[in-house]
Structure 1
Amino acid sequence: MSTADLKPYIEPIQAIVQRHPRTITLTALITIATPWFVNNYNAFIDMGPGGLPWNAYGWLIALYRKPFSRETKSTALYDKDSNKTSYLKDPASIKERRGERPKTTWHVFPSRQLNKFAPSDIQKRLIAVFDKHASANPSLVEVVPSRFERLHPALVIHSSRTSPHKAATMARREICHIHRGKDFSLHATMAPQDCKLVIERGWGERHPLAGSHFLPKEYMLLYAPRDDEELAAVEQFMCAAIGYMANTQAVN
């Protein structure tokens, strides 16, 4: 079919576009963008409940928070921090984590990893580690529903203790919690130098909002442990988070 043959069909379309340019443009943009929004919403729902309402309203909040997100793997901000204290009991024993880092969510809430999940037996043992240190440190910590996740139990600074630093206040006194859904990653608030080690050796990264007015720069995503060696490292990180937030080296 030649251009001349198409002319009777093209001219009416051109006339409509000329009469309603804004409407046509908006319609085209909506048509192009709709698949992205549908996929993005499905990705939000697929991660399961966590912090925000698990529905379209929560998804819209997550979209609103996204522009505030920051990069998650640089360590220069910890080098600049005057606090050089580490709360890790044996940092030399923590080797570089094997393999590539897991992929993480596009959304800032919920902040999760998307692959390399913890096996079911390690999941149970990770929860046991959490419970062990909660019981072993009754004067330092207590267990309450996470003030961020709302669904998962969290270790927080014991109510009898004052918040020792600004990071504790910004983190709502929350020390750590386990994401007991798909991945079994953790969020933990750790000393600046311990955050640096975690990132440099591949064990985690900052929460995307860490370092903003939402969360302190010490708020970390720790990747889910996959075996005994990784579980031992995560246990060290958990104890270090307790020490930092309770301002003590005497963590059981």
Structure 2
Amino acid sequence: MSLETLTNALQHIRLPRSQQDRLNLAVGTAAVLGSAILLPAAYRDYRLFKSYGPGGVPNNLLGWMTVRTLFQPFGREMLSTEVYLRRIDAAEGHGRGDDGYLTLSTEQLESRKNDGRPEVGPHVVPQRQLTQIPDEDVMEVRFPVSRGVFMQKLDSRFTSFGLRNHHLVKFQPSNLERHSDALFLADHLPITDLATTMQGEIAHIHSGSDYSLHVVLAPADCKKVIDAGWGQRHAFSGTSAMTFLSLGTLSDIPSEYLLIYAPRNDAEIEIVMEIISAAVKFMTGREDVR
């Protein structure tokens, strides 16, 4: 390139003439660089959200934006147990004090400790685990003629439990998940304050997803489960987030609302079913669980 050509090219470059021009140039450059960095990260976060499947909020772009912009700031830590000690000491509820309803042995409760907790997704809703997902050989696929769909072993045990205990519980679509059936308090049983808060819902499985569960347990059982590494609270548990975000149309989630990690073998399915049984005893106030 000749000197004359270079000189002519430089003469046609428009340089910032004022402080405002320089500011506009800086903002534009920052926007371009920021987009190059943030857009790929946002896309990965959206793909992760989509991978959870249906659960409470729409599993689409609108649902993701709602969770990230409106819901996320209301999330709280999920592993401390001081709240349950306070409730036990204050004799709140009907959770049988320090005993609770779980009848699991120490060995059963601590069966997950060596593996550590699974990683749980960063989005407050839906709450799903990302690691320690059950292996395929844990899942027993069946083809019931009446339903014509796949049924997993845990689903089958859950359904059998509910039907066997029809004097205490009933099945209906979960108020919180909306895409799966849950165990609810039977219509003829008296409603406690906690059951009213949960609109009667006791437990549901995230079928077709990670096979984790949400259950409502007695304060003492919540502490046992969290300490043993079998579960954690929901990020909204014990907060006023649900009432605020729904403009009063939904009740808040109590501190006793826990995520139970997915079972990975037959022995862990037995543990999960015992946790569900303890939840039914707590919410119904009855011991005659079959």
Alignment TM-score, normalising by the size of structure 1: 0.87
Q: Give the AA of the match of 2:110.
A: E
Distance 1:71 1:77 in 2: 12
Q: Give the AA of the match of 1:36.
A: A
Please give the secondary structure, in 2, of the residue aligned with 1:196. helix
Cα displacement (A) at 1:54: 1.3
The structure-2 alpha-carbon separation of the partners of 1:172 and 1:31, relative to structure 1 and needing over 3 Å to count, comes to: farther
Distance 2:133 2:13 in 1: 54
- 1:241 has 2:279 as partner: yes
Cα displacement (A) at 1:234: 0.6
For 2:38, which of 22, 33, 40 is the aligned residue?
Answer: 33
Distance 2:138 2:203 in 1: 18
Q: Which residue of 2 aligns with 1:169?
A: 196
- 1:221 has 2:259 as partner: yes
- 1:132 has 2:137 as partner: no
The structure having more radius of gyration, on CA atoms, is 2
Q: Which residue of 2 aligns with 1:112?
A: 128
Q: Give the AA of the match of 1:128.
A: S
Distance 1:90 1:36 in 2: 43
The structure-2 alpha-carbon separation of the partners of 1:36 and 1:250, relative to structure 1 and needing over 3 Å to count, comes to: same
Larger CA deviation: 223-232 vs 79-88: 79-88
Contact 1:45 1:55 in 2 (8 A): yes
Q: Which residue of 2 aligns with 1:151?
A: 179
The structure-2 alpha-carbon separation of the partners of 1:164 and 1:14, relative to structure 1 and needing over 3 Å to count, comes to: farther
In structure 1, list runs of 5 or more residues that go unmatched: none
Please give the secondary structure, in 1, of the residue aligned with 2:202. strand
For 1:56, which of 42, 61, 74 is the aligned residue?
Answer: 61
Distance 1:19 1:65 in 2: 33
Distance 1:34 1:132 in 2: 47
Contact 1:122 1:231 in 2 (8 A): no
Q: Deviations over 1:55-103 (max 9, x none)?
A: 1111122112111111111111101113425122345463313311111
Distance 2:197 2:13 in 1: 60
Q: Give the AA of the match of 1:208.
A: A
The structure-2 alpha-carbon separation of the partners of 1:231 and 1:12, relative to structure 1 and needing over 3 Å to count, comes to: same
The structure-2 alpha-carbon separation of the partners of 1:138 and 1:112, relative to structure 1 and needing over 3 Å to count, comes to: same
Cα displacement (A) at 1:31: 4.0
Q: Which residue of 1 aligns with 2:85?
A: 79
In structure 2, list runs of 5 or more residues that go unmatched: 1-5, 92-96, 140-151, 243-252
Cα displacement (A) at 1:191: 0.8
Larger CA deviation: 157-166 vs 130-139: 157-166
For 1:193, which of 220, 223, 227 is the aligned residue?
Answer: 220
Please give the secondary structure, in 1, of the residue aligned with 2:109. coil
Contact 1:171 1:219 in 2 (8 A): no
The structure-2 alpha-carbon separation of the partners of 1:19 and 1:52, relative to structure 1 and needing over 3 Å to count, comes to: closer
The structure-2 alpha-carbon separation of the partners of 1:122 and 1:31, relative to structure 1 and needing over 3 Å to count, comes to: same
The structure-2 alpha-carbon separation of the partners of 1:250 and 1:22, relative to structure 1 and needing over 3 Å to count, comes to: same
Please give the secondary structure, in 2, of the residue aligned with 1:188. strand
Contact 2:233 2:258 in 1 (8 A): yes
The structure-2 alpha-carbon separation of the partners of 1:91 and 1:23, relative to structure 1 and needing over 3 Å to count, comes to: same
Cα displacement (A) at 1:186: 0.5
Please give the secondary structure, in 1, of the residue aligned with 2:160. helix
Q: Which residue of 1 aligns with 2:237?
A: 210
Cα displacement (A) at 1:136: 1.5
For 1:43, which of 44, 48, 57 is the aligned residue?
Answer: 48
Larger CA deviation: 121-130 vs 202-211: 121-130
Larger CA deviation: 24-33 vs 146-155: 24-33
Contact 2:109 2:230 in 1 (8 A): no
- Structure 1 moving runs of 4+ over 6 Å: 8-11
Distance 1:130 1:97 in 2: 21
The structure-2 alpha-carbon separation of the partners of 1:90 and 1:40, relative to structure 1 and needing over 3 Å to count, comes to: closer
Aligned length: 245
Please give the secondary structure, in 1, of the residue aligned with 2:122. coil
Pairs within 5 Å for 1:14-25: 16-19=21-24, 22=27, 24-25=29-30
Cα displacement (A) at 1:10: 10
The structure-2 alpha-carbon separation of the partners of 1:61 and 1:169, relative to structure 1 and needing over 3 Å to count, comes to: farther
Cα displacement (A) at 1:41: 1.0
Distance 2:136 2:111 in 1: 20
Cα displacement (A) at 1:250: 2.0
